[in-house]
Structure formats: C-alpha cells, structure tokens
Structure 1
Amino acid sequence: MNHTEFSPVEQAFSALSGVEKMSARIPYIITGDFPSLGLFTSLRFLEWVSGNPEGVISLPTGKTPEYFIKNTHHILENWNREEIRQLLGRYGLGSLRKPDLRGLQFVQIDEFYPISPAQHNSFHNYVTEYYIRGFGLDPGRALLINAEEIPLPGGRHYSEVFPGSAIDLSLRYRESRSADEEVRKASIFAIDNWCSEYEAKIREKGGIGFFLGGIGPDGHIAFNTRGSDLWSTTRLTQTNFETQAVAAGDLGGIEISRNRLVITIGLGTITYNPDAVAIIFAAGEAKAEVVKSALESEINTVYPATVLQRLPNARFYLTEGAASRLSDSVERYYKTGEWTRRKTERAVIDLCTKLDKYGHNLTIDELRADPWCSLIPDLGEQTVPGVVSAIMDKLQKGMKRDENQVIYHTGPHHDDIMLGIMPYTNRQLRTATNDIHFAVMTSGFTAVTNHFLISALEDTLEMLEKGEIQMILYPDFFKKGYAFKWDKDVYHFLDNVARQNEYEKRRGLCHRIVRSAVVIWETEDRFELRKVLKNVVNTLKESYDGSKNPPDIQKLKGMLREFEEELVWAYYGVPVKNVHHLRLGFYKGEIFTENPEKNRDMLPILQQLREIKPTIISLALDPEGSGPDTHYKVLQAIAGAVQEWSREADLSQLRILGYRNVWYRFHPADADLLVPVSLNSLAVLEKSFAESYLSQVHASFPSFEYDGPFSELTRKTWVKQLKQIQLLLGKNFFYENNNALIRATHGLLYIKEMNVDEFTGIARSLKKLSEGTEA
C-alpha cells in the first residue's frame, strides 16, 4: 500500500518500521515494542483530536492501554517543554497546537452486566477514572453504560431481579415458569430496549469517529466474540470461554465471569461511520495467530475484526511479536538480513509440520518447492540431515548434567518456574553438588480468590477453637516462637500428602496461616489472633468479587502463595531458606502495575546475586509482555540487576537460561536446549501442582487456551512440542534410541541460553522501554 494514505504520525512510525510490502486486507504498522506502541497510539489520538475537537471517541479498557494513557497524560501536561516539542516534531506533529479534549464526545465500548459502577473492576469506573477525569473530558457529553441507571420494571434493582447476578437469556424465547421469571423476562426486554436507545444515541452523533480497541484471544473486538453478527448493534449478550478466561482477572475468578453477561456495542456500531478511524492495537506473540486471521481473512463471523475491512481508515498497530505470523512478516524474516542456521532450522521444521511429513521423508523437490526452504544457501541432500544434527545437539545439551553449580531460578509469579522448566530443575536437584535457589519476584496475591481465603480462615478458626493448633500454647510463641520451624509446616503438610490424610494437610495450611497472621498483625495472644482472623473473614465476606483487598489481606494472600511455592520445592528436599520471596514493590494489585524502580525493585535482586553468586540464572524471557505485564516488568528488574552485577564481577562464565511457559512459547529453532520430559516428570508436575498450589487447583484464573489448571496446559504444551520434533527426527529416533532418557521421552521443553553480553543487550533495550523511548 502507498504510505501517503497514512496520517503524518502513521507515516513516521511506518518509516521507522522499515516495512515496504504490505499484503494484508487492512493496513498495519509495526512498532518495536510495547511502550512505543502506546506512544504511537497516543500521538495518533492527539493528531486526530486536533482536527476533530468535538468528535465522537471510544477508547479501550484493560491493561493494553497502559502506555497509551500514560503517554497522553505526559504529553498534554508537558506540551510546551522542549522534550515534548522535539518528540512531536520527530513524528510529524511539530506544528500541532495543543488539542482541547473538553469538546470530545465519549462512548463507552462495553461493560459487564450487572455490575455496580462504583466497583473498581467495572469498566464504568475505569472509563471515569482514566478518560473522563484523566483526560479532562466533559462527563455531560459522554455516553456511559451504568447498570444502576438502566431502568427495570417496577423500579426494581438488578440485585433483586437477578440473584447472584445470573441472567437466563433463554427467557427471551420461552414462556416464564413463575412470577419471578416473568419479572426477569420483562427486565431482559427492558435492558434490550435500553441497548437500542444507546445505539440510537450513538448514531444520532453520526457514529464513532475514533475507535481504539484491543483484540481478544478469540479475535473479539469490544465483546463481539467469535460468531457475532457482522452488522450487530448494542446488546446484552453472553461471552465464550476465551473471553471469560481473560475477564476472570477483572471479576475475581472464572467462577464469576463464566456466568456474567455483558453489554457491548456491536460490529455494526463500530463501522456505522464510514469515515471512522478504527484502530486495533496488539502486543506480543500470544496475539500473533489471531492478528493474522483478522488481517488475512475475508470478512467472516469467525474473525470479528475482519469487519474493519469496511472502513478505509481502519488500521492495526502491532508490536513485532504480534505481527510475527503475518505472511509479510514471515517473508521479511527469511528475505532480509543474513541467512542464519536458525532460519534453516525454522524453515525445515515448519515444512515438516506443513506437510505432516517426517524429516527423513522430505524430498529435495519438496524443499525446492517451499518458498522458504528454497532460499537455504547450498540447498541439497545434506540440508535436512544438517538440521537433524543441530536438533540432536540441542537435545544433548538439554540432557547434560549440571554439577557443582550455584543455580538461581527466578519466576515472576509462583508456579512460573514449575510451569516453565520443572523437568530441568528436577535433574539439577538430583545432583548433590549443586546449590539451588528459587526466587519468586512478586507476592502473587491477586491469584488467590476471596472464597479460597475465607474457607482456609474458617478452618483455621475452627481448629483454634478445638485446640488443634497447639503451637500457640507455647509461652513464647507470640513473642518469637512463631518465627521458628516454618520448615515444619511444610514437612507436616507433605508428610500427610504421603499418608493421604486430607484433614492433616489442611491443618498444616492452618499452621502457616497462624504464623503469617502473627507476622502481619503482630498479635500478642490467641484471643487477639482469633479476633483478627474473624475480622478478615468479615471483611472478605463484605467485599465484592474482584475487589482490591486492603494491604494486610494482600500480604496474607501472598504469604499463602509463598507457602505453596515452598511445598513444591520441598518435594525435592529444598529447605525454606532456599526459596526466596522478594515481593518486589511495583506489584500492588493495581490495574496498571508500576514500572520497576532501581532502589525498590532492582537492588533486592542485585543483593541476592551478590550473596548467592550464581553460575546459572533462569528467568521468564518475555520481552514483549505476551503474558501478564508482570513478566515483562520483572524481566526489566532482573536485567538491570545483572547489568549492574556485571560491573562488579567477572561473569564471563555465567549462563542465563530463558524459559517460557503457558503464555508464550519458543520455536525450536530459537531454543538452545531441548529438555526431554518423561511420563514420570509429567506425573510429578501434575501431582505436585495439585497438592501444592492449593489456591490454583480449581483454575479460577485459567489460560484462554484451556479450561483447567495450568499444569494440564503445560503438559499439553510439552507433548505438542515433542510432536514438533518427532516430525523432524522420526518417532523411531526416540523409541529405538540407545539412551534410556530419550527412550522415556514423551514431551519436550525448550530453553534459550544466553551469555551476559547477550542478556545485557536485552537489558539496555528494556531500560529504554522503561523510559518510554523507542528502542
């Protein structure tokens, strides 16, 4: 496409991307990273507003808009400063006058129903906080979705009509069976009427002029999930599992989001104004497949975002990861820059997958007919054997025993290390000469539901009443005794895993709750302890699902997650002192986590590196924030610490191992170690996950890819990765192999190995990202 069709801001960012060829059905622009994606959308928004000071806008909720919102605030607040003038000039806006946002007409895109607008996890609250107040918009010119203001028959409140917030939409089509159902049926039609009026108000304004939205894991825009009518309007509707899984974090668990309906503008609403600027932005490889479907498919109900093909001014703004599956991106990967062995490996492995054919059966004609394999230099009969040999070398590296090493495994959250590399850690732990440490960087309290904590606290109170937590009777327990024998709680619990004694396992958990409560609230005796625990139960019962807990309850939830992490590694005899809980301060349970700070977040990691002096460090390598943004921000902090440590010590022999888990995966060409996973390893993974991560067994916050615990999704991932390599090497390579470990292989995990120079290169890039500049 001709770039002159782009606005000045778009032309500037498009030029930076270096993309020459664009064959997608909707124009797209690629940015280098997540923060610059936010800067780009911010500048494009301000550019549009300057020409449409009373225009109709719809802006997104969630975590993706973080840098869009922050950059917009920063630019407007510092408009006349030299750095901002230079920034605007760099992106074609040097002559732009400061836009006045007060005349804009805001339209809320969607909302859960029912939900109180006062709840911090309502989209109404988000819009009010970050856009109406945050951008200084006029609330009188805004169309908002407020469940309290949607009239129901007889002036009833939604809590009266829909107990438990459950709504049966089949009442639209069937007869009522009771007086209560008659009221509910009438209420559903009242909501439908309200939605029609909302739609009419949008159209009276001429439709939406500037739409900015994300794209869901199923390809949804707004809450128009897969299968939505391409001409749909504002409506009350159900969602699908993928959307419910993403919403679980907002609503306090899949148990809530599975039954909560939504009000959303429709695909017809978004495209009603033919001159609308409609932008979808996406970051990370986790979105790559759905982005490809949206941009390269014909208009189709299976891919809702394809409807934007109707709009000449529709655009996709993408990070490199989100764009990586596009046909154009694949072509650029292979046709630009020097040819590398990784390109050869990727091309051959992908051809095996595409043809569903074993590597030894690939013919030279098939290689030449493939657009990417045909580019391999010196393509010939030895090409596939060369790739086979390279992959076998990676398997050998994955099986190599680590001995006499000091190993520092890190995870952004509890369970990340397990889900990322547990079979690898298992083998390291079997070697007595290794000194192994596990460090979890954040408290992880958001993964513990109120329901789980209430149940555990009620059990604790009952056991206290029965005198079954005897340690509180020791005379010095509340002064100093509580601080000893934390390992005993772990051993007691696992001893009763072996005995299959559920009650005693629960008692072990309650012991840890008591110790944690004494630490947090500094209780002086058992009477005060009971009072505190009862108050916590009452507070939680009075809270809505998904609410932000007070800091002391956040800490209690986090300490329960820490207990879970200690249980996992205690399976292998790792003592509590070797499981480190850093609780980095940027993690506070806010919608947008703060950026890491040197003194608060980087220095604690640096101090541990100085003390432990690891020879191997593992970390979750997610530089684009494909998974939770915590992954990305923890990586920033670790990168900064390693960079600082490299100035103090000789790290030429330090090995840095990057892993990925259920959120984001390596291609085998990009991995350096392929680690065999046996049925025994899979069994240990699932058993230890179920027995240790007590708060996660019921998968309250699942992946959109799988309706179940993360351990089961990890198993499926490792098994799928083995199949990828089996196609290249042949199944017989595994079952006929002389090596027993390879014969026992029924899954594979992929690891990328870096030296300090390679990793500090990432560190420099991430430092630029944290400063909001382009990398």
Structure 2
Amino acid sequence: MSTTTHPVAATERIPVEIHPSSAEASAAVAAEIAQLIRTKRAAGGNAVLGLATGSTPTGVYDELIRLHREEGLSFKGVKTFNLDEYVPMAPDALQSYRRFMDEHLFDHVDFDEGDTHVPDGLLPVEDTAAGCARYEEQIQEAGGLDLQLLGIGRTGHIGFNEPGSGKDSRTRLIWLDRLTRADAASDFFGAENVPRRAITMGVGTIMEAKRIVLMAWGEGKAPVVAAAVEGPETPAVAASYLQTHPNATFVLDEAASAGLTRTRCPWLVGSVDWTPRRQRSAAVWLAQRAGKPLLKLTDEDYNESGLQELVAEHGPAYDVNLRVFRELQRTITGWPGGKPSERRRAGDVQREGDDVFPKRILIFSPHPDDDVISMGGTLIRLVDQGHEVHVAYQVSGNIAVFDADAVRFADFYSELAGTRGSSQEGVLKEVVDEVDAKEPGAVDGELLKSIKQIIRRGECRAAARLCGLPTDRLHFLDLPFYETGKVRKKPLSREDVDLTAALLERIKPHQVYAAGDLSDPHGTHRVCLAAVMQACERLKDEDWFEQTAVWLYRGAWQEWLPEQVDMAVPLSPAELLKKRQAIFKHESQKDRAPYPGTDEREFWERAEERNRNTARLYDRLGLAEYEAIEAFVQWSPGQEIG
C-alpha cells in the first residue's frame, strides 16, 4: 500500500492524499476523526464535526461504527452539523438527509440526544432565513467546526453550493442546479420528483472550519477533482475555493486521481521509474498530444514534451515506439478464450491457460444488463467459439423497473389467467392499488418487487437466447446487500461473498469476467466487484484457481484507456449490431432508463460510442483499424484496481 501526501507539483494548489482504494482512504479519514475526538476529550472539550451525505462518506461512517463497537470510541458530547437538506423534506422521508445520517451513523453509536444537527427541511419559506441564521449560531455556540467532511459534485459543488456561489456565502435556501437535480433523479425515482430547493451551509461557513477533508472516489470524479485541485480558484467550481484554506486536504482513491498531472503524466512533475507500463503510458500520451501514430514519434517529440529521461534511459525514440507498438498489438485478439491448437499459427499471441480449450467461462454482471452492455460482443464471440459460458447476475435490478411496466405485466398475467380459468385476476388489482398509493421513491411491496424481478430475469433470458447462450447457464445470485428495495444499499456482507465463492467453486472457471467500471453512481458495481475480488482472494490457493484468469471490463460508465488495456477484442459491424440487439432485449431499460446517471444517452449508445472510440484510438496510434473494440484489464488476487 502506498499513500501520497501533500502537493508534489506546482500544478496542485491544494494538498492531496491518494490511497490505493476508497476503503483504505475511508479508514484513514475515520482514524483522523477518531483521533480528533480523543484529543479534544483529553483536553476537556468535545469535537464538533461537519458531516456530509451521499455514497462517498459511507465508508467513513462504517469505520467509525466499527471503532465504536470494537475499540470503544465514544461519541458522547460530540456535536455534529450536516451540510444540507432538501426542501421540502420530512425528516423520516426515504430521501431525507436526517434519515440518511440516522441509518448510516447516528443510530449505531452513542451520540447524546440533541447533539446531532441537520437543517430543517420543513421550515416554511418565510421562516427559512431565520432558521438558517439560527443554524449558524448553533455552530458558533458549539465552538465552531473542528473538522468538515465534504464530497464533490459533478459541477464542483460542495454541499449544495452550486456554480456561482460566493466565497463568503452563509447557510441559506438555494435553488438547485439542473445538473444537480439530474444527478439526484435516481434517489427520487425520476427528476420530476426531485425538490427544486435545498438548505445548504455556505462556502463561507465551510471555510471557517479548522480542518477540511474533501473525499472523492472513482474515475467519474477525476475531471472535476483535477479542475478543483489544479485549475484556478473560481465560482464556477466551488470546491476550488478550498485552495486558500490553511488546512484542507483532498483525499482520493487512485481512480479519482486519474486527472491529476502527477497521475496522468508524472514525468512532467519529476523523475519517474520507467517501468514498461509507464513507458507505454508516456508513448501513448505523447502520440495523442502530437497527433501522430506511435511509430512516427521522434526524439525531438519526446525531448520537447518533457520525456527526455525516457529516451535517454530507454531510447532512442524508435526503440521505445516499437516496444510500445508491439505491446499494444499483442493486446488485440479475436479469440478471447484462446485458440484451439489446430487453429494456431506462428506468431499468435499465447496467454497463460491457452492450452485449455474449450474453457469454462463465468461472467459476473452487476445488474441484469451489464454483461451485454459492456462485453456483449466478447460474450457472443466466446459462445460462438465453443466455450461453456455462464453468466451470474449479481443483483436483481428490481428497483430499476418502472411501476408502469409492472402494471403492464400484471395486466398480461391477469388476462392470461382469466383465459385459462385461473383465479389470479386479483393480481392486477393488487398491483394497481399499490402503485396508486405509492409516494414517489417509496419502497415497493413484495408482490411489486417480485414482478419487477421476474421482468428483469425474463429480459436476461431473452438476451441470452439471442447470443446463443443456453438459459440454464444463467445464475441469479440476488446478493443480499442489494435487496433493500431502496436506492441505498446495505454494506457488503460475508453472505454476499459466500454466495459468490460458492458459484465459483461449483463452476471452477478457467476465465472470470467482472465489472471494473466503478463510476456507477450508486456504487453497485463497486460492491459487486468487491464481492468477486474477496471470493477470489478466498479461493486463490485452490488447485483449480491456479489456471483461472480474471478479466475486468468497462463500458457502461467509463472505458479503459489504451495504455491500461491487456486484452482488446475487436468487433465487426455485424457483431456490434448483434450486441445492440442483445441490449435491446432489456426492454425495461430501453428508451428511458430509471438510473441513467450523468449521461442522458441510452446505454447502447454509450457502449457503442466507447467501443468505437477505443477502436479509433488504436487506429490513430497506427494499429489495425476496426469498427469497435471491447477492452479488458487482467486482475490477480492482491492487486489494487486503479
């Protein structure tokens, strides 16, 4: 494990810590909070914490709960003030930040009654200004914030301080930005249900905290983190104001640091260890910057772009170019499961395990459509080439089905039951009554959840049939962490890992494919990947696992960069079309997905654009030109994902 602290380049205008994973970063932040609480108590006082909501700080809260239960950390006397709350919002509503804090922290430790504060989302508009002023007074009466936790929004907002918020702004009622409401749409089952107003601490209030820790996880946050850390201080990115705070730090995982100069091109900030992977990264970066194919880069191109050390130690330029070109060329294969011996030719790239043919393949799909969205072309090719392909759908995906679709299927079932003389006509009435009585974002009843689950399973089977995959090789794990009926899920548990490991042991696959795309806005991909990785760690010493290769795919939210890719599977126009048709079988997610995230396009459009872009990048680097490419990175137990 390695953690980098404080600025390492003139480009960084604020201290930054980079941890290998969000779990390790969360543990470090929780340890700092615990030390603050103990230090203040030893001095006869109590800590005052500013807290945040959303998926980012939940790991910190989980670790604080563990410290309370296992190491005796007490929260007696500690006072907390949350950043914000929607308006109007009842404290017990599903989307309430008061309820979020109760469920993720307050109810699990020993805070004194009345010491936790969240803005009142039910204040009448005419009383809001006075309520906000009183919130400021309460912070001052408590002695001011000792430590403020922050996340960062897509627009660079901290709290609900939208672009344009002043540096001296105080706690106030604000009108939510369109993008912020779009990002929150999935919490409310549709953008139309998101409140248009919120109460938020102001930037000035936040800047008065003695210590500020801003956390960000995942590659999706990398661009805005880079803007806040390396860009100018500007009202357009409220987080950039932290550049002038005397004791603020950005705490990132590797993925969220990807846009920083020190991560993206560290040779621009100092000497580096020129590993083969770093040479590839530098050459690809330079080729894109110079607008040249790899084999046309010159010594001058390297020297004029800060890469003198690379050519001095490993050059001349043509030698570096040729090594990187050949490495990238070796990633390309039309046989992701390996070639049978009778089809091999001289010069074919041979990977470990290629002597086994056909292979048992296990594809883990976090949601019921991630398999075809992210690696549908490769899945089809594996089936066509004769491998025994299995797909494990890790969660049911039932909350991502619109109520109207459930009513439509209940209507179908009710009418079918009537034609067969069945007495099931009451199903439709029960479903319609529940939907009519539901508040936006309310948890589904068991019947409605079951119907939605059946809908998604049926779509999986339809897509499998189109891909030529026998439906008895589909495995519906329904991991327990997901089955809350709400957008917010439970933490990964031993039961989730046990179910994953049991399937691995039963199939004993030669290849495992799992989603390495961690930008899923509600973290399901991240938890599902953790389940697979922990199961593999558990099984790594089994004899059968020695010949198991684990490949990570992306595509639904982000894509691997060329310098990261270990296997690139090219797709023909016909294969890309068949992949699209497989995605279309997931009709409940077609036209308007309930959880689109920050990209408003349909998933098939996103996937095709990313696959085509990868092919274009390979083409521009001077490699073969393809219609599209699905990219994969190989993972081994003990390896971090960056």
Secondary structure at the aligned position of 2:90 is classed as: coil
Q: Distance in 1 between matches of 2:620 and 2:492?
A: 43
Instruction: Tell me which of 518, 531, 540 is aligned to 1:637.
Output: 531
Deviations 1:333-369 (A, max 9, x none): 8977753322121111111222334434433201122
Q: Distance in 1 between matches of 2:539 and 2:26?
A: 31
- Indicate if the aligned counterparts of 2:62 and 2:104 stay in contact, CA closer than 8 A: no
- Equivalent residue runs for 1:285-684 within 5 Å: 285-330=219-264, 338-372=273-307, 374-376=309-311, 377-396=314-333, 404-431=358-385, 433-448=386-401, 452-453=402-403, 455-463=404-412, 467-469=415-417, 472-473=420-421, 526-527=422-423, 529-589=424-484, 591-597=488-494, 600-621=495-516, 628-684=522-578
Amino acid in the other structure paired with 1:73: I
Query: Which structure carries more helix by proportion?
Result: 1
Q: Distance in 2 between matches of 1:56 and 1:645?
A: 44
Structure 1 position 760 matched with structure 2 position 618: no
Residue 685 of structure 1: how far off its partner (Å): 3.7
Aligned to 2:187: 250
Secondary structure at the aligned position of 2:163 is classed as: coil
- Indicate if the aligned counterparts of 2:37 and 2:78 stay in contact, CA closer than 8 A: no
Q: Is the alpha carbon distance of 1:50 and 1:287 closer, same or farther for their aligned partners in structure 2, counting shifts above 3 Å?
A: same
- Equivalent residue runs for 1:269-284 within 5 Å: 269-271=205-207, 273=208, 276-284=210-218
Residue 684 of structure 1: how far off its partner (Å): 3.4
Amino acid in the other structure paired with 1:114: P
Secondary structure at the aligned position of 1:26 is classed as: coil
Aligned to 1:261: 197
Structure 1 position 102 matched with structure 2 position 55: no
Structure 1 position 61 matched with structure 2 position 61: no
Q: Is the alpha carbon distance of 1:261 and 1:716 closer, same or farther for their aligned partners in structure 2, counting shifts above 3 Å?
A: farther
Q: Distance in 1 between matches of 2:106 and 2:411?
A: 48
Instruction: Tell me which of 106, 112, 116 is aligned to 2:90.
Output: 116
Aligned to 2:350: none
Instruction: Tell me which of 33, 45, 64 is aligned to 1:45.
Output: 33
TM score, norm. by length of structure 1: 0.72
Q: Distance in 1 between matches of 2:34 and 2:537?
A: 37
Amino acid in the other structure paired with 1:34: S
Amino acid in the other structure paired with 1:75: L
Q: Is the alpha carbon distance of 1:611 and 1:277 closer, same or farther for their aligned partners in structure 2, counting shifts above 3 Å?
A: closer
Q: Distance in 1 between matches of 2:234 and 2:361?
A: 50
Amino acid in the other structure paired with 1:674: A
Secondary structure at the aligned position of 2:71 is classed as: coil
Q: Distance in 2 between matches of 1:411 and 1:71?
A: 28
Secondary structure at the aligned position of 2:24 is classed as: helix
Q: Is the alpha carbon distance of 1:358 and 1:647 closer, same or farther for their aligned partners in structure 2, counting shifts above 3 Å?
A: closer
Report percent identity of matched pairs.
Answer: 23
Residue 68 of structure 1: how far off its partner (Å): 1.2
Residue 659 of structure 1: how far off its partner (Å): 1.0
- Equivalent residue runs for 1:118-197 within 5 Å: 118-148=92-122, 150-151=123-124, 187=125, 191=128, 194-195=131-132
Instruction: Tell me which of 574, 581, 592 is aligned to 1:698.
Output: 592
Q: Distance in 2 between matches of 1:413 and 1:289?
A: 26
Residue 440 of structure 1: how far off its partner (Å): 0.7
Instruction: Tell me which of 631, 635, 642 is aligned to 1:750.
Output: 631
Deviations 1:553-590 (A, max 9, x none): 43432232222211212212323212211112232236
Secondary structure at the aligned position of 1:436 is classed as: strand
Amino acid in the other structure paired with 2:165: S
Residue 246 of structure 1: how far off its partner (Å): 3.2
Secondary structure at the aligned position of 2:66 is classed as: helix
Deviations 1:576-628 (A, max 9, x none): 2122111122322363423231xx33343344334434332211135x78764
Q: Which runs of 5+ in 2 are unaligned?
A: 341-357
Q: Distance in 1 between matches of 2:131 and 2:400?
A: 36
Higher alpha-carbon deviation: 44-53 or 422-431: 44-53
Deviations 1:708-755 (A, max 9, x none): 22222222222322332232117xx52xxxxxxxxxx2332211235x
**RMSD in angstroms over aligned alpha carbons?**
3.3
Q: Which runs of 5+ in 1 are unaligned?
A: 1-12, 81-97, 152-186, 474-525, 735-744, 767-775
TM score, norm. by length of structure 2: 0.86
Q: Is the alpha carbon distance of 1:306 and 1:206 closer, same or farther for their aligned partners in structure 2, counting shifts above 3 Å?
A: farther
- Indicate if the aligned counterparts of 1:49 and 1:101 stay in contact, CA closer than 8 A: no
Q: Distance in 1 between matches of 2:399 and 2:271?
A: 43
Q: Distance in 1 between matches of 2:275 and 2:57?
A: 36
Higher alpha-carbon deviation: 717-726 or 302-311: 717-726
Structure 1 position 717 matched with structure 2 position 598: no
Q: Is the alpha carbon distance of 1:114 and 1:748 closer, same or farther for their aligned partners in structure 2, counting shifts above 3 Å?
A: same
Q: Distance in 2 between matches of 1:463 and 1:678?
A: 38
- Indicate if the aligned counterparts of 1:26 and 1:315 stay in contact, CA closer than 8 A: yes
Amino acid in the other structure paired with 1:385: L
Q: Distance in 2 between matches of 1:221 and 1:398?
A: 47
Number of residue pairs aligned between Structure 1 and Structure 2: 615
Amino acid in the other structure paired with 2:383: L
Aligned to 1:21: 8
Q: Is the alpha carbon distance of 1:668 and 1:414 closer, same or farther for their aligned partners in structure 2, counting shifts above 3 Å?
A: same
Aligned to 1:174: none
Q: Distance in 1 between matches of 2:90 and 2:147?
A: 27
